């Protein structure tokens, strides 16, 4: 026989489901942010170094192919976490969708950038890639932060946006791009790694 819930019991059930969902998100998001964050920092710093060591220097950009296995691992981890999650709300689906759209948007940005560069025979257009990526990462991070009502995500998004502006300022002053990848690495530390560690710490305190 089905049990009829009164108003108080219904509210308690909803609150418990929301709390459990947020706990599941914290366990997954913290480790994912750290994995992606540290991968990006290593690759971006390696790119900055190789720009000064390799001839021709554009060969340095090949290090970004390392992000392909990182992306596949992240999606694989996310798939496993979705199966283990005891509660999956529409907010979880929105967050997953935002990052999925971000990945596809990045793919299109690269195609368009290289397409225009080839058509115009102007490789200088590539200088815009780093700040554009920072802006889009910040957008995705901010939307997810709003969805989960998690302030460190939103503050991390602002770090990415500031990083994008600094990339423009750096190139205007120095007229070279290797420093952009150092700015990118610092932005990732502030936008992904620090919020990721905060999320893990919060999870441990809630256990």
In the three-class reduction of DSSP (H, G, I as helix; E, B as strand; rest coil), residue 5 is classed as: coil
**Per-residue pLDDT, 1:** 44
In the three-class reduction of DSSP (H, G, I as helix; E, B as strand; rest coil), residue 135 is classed as: helix
**27, 77, 149, 151, 197 from 204: Cα distances, Å:** 9, 20, 19, 18, 11
Q: What percent of the chain has pLDDT over 90?
A: 39
d(CA 130, CA 168): 9
DSSP state, residue 93: H
How much is the pTM? 0.81
> Does pLDDT of 2 surpass 50?
no
**Residues 31-56: what's their mean pLDDT?**
92
> Does pLDDT of 3 surpass 60?
no
> Does pLDDT of 103 surpass 90?
no
**Residues 57-64: what's their mean pLDDT?**
86
What residues contact residue 128 under an 8 Å CB cut-off, 6+ apart?
Answer: 113
**Residues 153-159: what's their mean pLDDT?**
96
Indicate the range of 62-71, 109-118, 146-155 predicted with least confidence.
Answer: 109-118
Is there a contact between 139 and 157 (Cβ–Cβ < 8 Å)?
yes
Per-residue b or e along 142-158, where b marks 16 or more CB atoms closer than 10 Å to that residue's CB:
bbbbebbebebbbbbbe
């Amino acid at each position: 026989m089905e049990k009829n819930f009164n108003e108080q019991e219904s509210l308690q059930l909803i609150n418990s489901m929301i709390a459990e969902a947020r706990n599941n998100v914290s366990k997954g998001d913290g480790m994912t942010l750290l994995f992606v964050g540290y991968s990006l920092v290593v690759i971006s710093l390696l790119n900055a170094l190789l720009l000064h060591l390799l001839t021709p220097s554009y060969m340095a950009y090949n290090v970004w192919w390392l992000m392909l296995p990182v992306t596949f691992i992240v999606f694989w981890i996310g798939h496993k976490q979705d199966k283990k999650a005891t509660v999956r709300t529409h907010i979880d689906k929105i967050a997953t969708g935002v990052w999925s759209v971000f990945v596809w948007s990045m793919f299109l940005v690269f195609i368009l950038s290289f397409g225009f560069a080839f058509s115009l025979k102007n490789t200088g257009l590539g200088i815009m890639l780093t700040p554009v990526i920072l802006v889009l990462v910040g957008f995705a991070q901010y939307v997810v932060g709003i969805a989960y009502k998690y302030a460190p995500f939103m503050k991390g998004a602002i770090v990415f946006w500031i990083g994008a502006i600094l990339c423009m300022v750096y190139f205007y002053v120095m007229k070279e791009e290797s420093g952009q990848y150092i700015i990118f690495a610092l932005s990732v530390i502030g936008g992904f790694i620090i919020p990721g560690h905060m999320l893990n710490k919060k999870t441990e305190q809630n256990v």
